[in-house]
């Protein structure tokens, strides 16, 4: 556990020694897809899941996670991100299940493995899980998320670690690492100062 937390801490602080990425099962998927199924899919494709846990996202967590979308919504509530309130409601409806993953070119590779939101290709995680477990993948409630860029992965991992803090068992030394990782959220989450009521 300590080694995993050290890797996570280094990554969220900007180290490029080992690339990590983040995958989350969203609330409409956690009831029907076990973490072991997703882990199996990832490991069979050469990735290492270094930490996984459930988390409850608050509206603030969602705003940090989808920073660009939220900022766009605040700037223009009737613009292309007008769907944001539904997205926030969806991700706070129930628990998510997050995975922190290591591997060469992890962000790009896992994103490709996850598949696109609309009409994902056969063999991608999104396609296979939807077909096997009957999950409806549409624009707003698509069941699974993977980081799209390294900068996103750093922010999303720090945000997830803060949200999942109480769901992970750790020693006192590891608690200090957890706190340092969680502290990065404030730095990565400079969401729009023009807060809006949803």
pLDDT digits (tens, 9 = 90+) for 14-53: 988 899 999 999 888 887 777 878 888 899 999 999 999 9
Provide the whole-model pTM.
0.86
Instruction: Compute the mean pLDDT over every residue in the chain, rounded to the nearest whole number.
Output: 85
Query: Do 174 and 5 meet the contact criterion of CB atoms below 8 Å apart?
Result: yes
Cα dist from 80 to 73, 91, 114, 139, 192, whole Å: 8, 19, 24, 13, 17
With cut-offs at 50, 70 and 90, classify the pLDDT of residue 189.
Answer: low
64 pLDDT higher than 90:
yes
Can you give the pLDDT at residue 169? Answer: 67
Query: Do 145 and 23 meet the contact criterion of CB atoms below 8 Å apart?
Result: yes
What is the CB neighbour count within 10 angstroms for residue 93?
Answer: 13
Query: Could you state, in order of their start, the residue ranges of all structural domains in the chain?
Result: 2-171+179-186
Between CA 55 and CA 167 the distance in angstroms is 7
What's the CATH code, domain 2-171+179-186?
3.30.70.141
With cut-offs at 50, 70 and 90, classify the pLDDT of residue 194.
Answer: very low
pLDDT digits (tens, 9 = 90+) for 113-145: 998 877 788 888 888 877 777 776 655 677 889
Provide the percentage of residues in the chain whose pLDDT is more than 70: 88
Can you give the pLDDT at residue 141? Answer: 76
């Amino acid at each position: 556990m300590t080694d995993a937390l050290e890797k996570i801490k280094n990554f969220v602080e900007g180290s490029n020694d080992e690339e990590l990425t983040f995958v989350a099962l969203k609330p409409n998927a956690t009831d029907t897809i076990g973490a072991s199924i997703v882990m199996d899919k990832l490991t069979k494709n050469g990735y290492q899941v270094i930490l996984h846990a459930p988390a409850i996202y608050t509206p603030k967590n969602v705003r940090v996670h989808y920073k660009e979308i939220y900022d766009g919504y605040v700037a223009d509530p009737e613009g292309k991100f007008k769907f944001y309130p539904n997205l926030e409601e969806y991700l706070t409806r129930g628990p998510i299940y997050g995975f922190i993953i290591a591997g060469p070119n992890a962000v790009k590779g896992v994103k490709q493995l996850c598949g696109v939101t609309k009409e994902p290709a056969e063999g991608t995680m999104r396609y296979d899980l939807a077909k096997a477990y009957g999950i409806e993948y549409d624009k707003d409630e698509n069941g699974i998320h993977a980081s799209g860029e390294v900068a996103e992965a750093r922010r999303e991992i720090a945000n997830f670690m803060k949200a999942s803090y109480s769901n992970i068992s750790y020693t006192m030394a590891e608690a200090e690492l957890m706190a340092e990782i969680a502290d990065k959220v404030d730095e990565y989450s400079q969401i729009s100062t023009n807060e809006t009521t949803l």
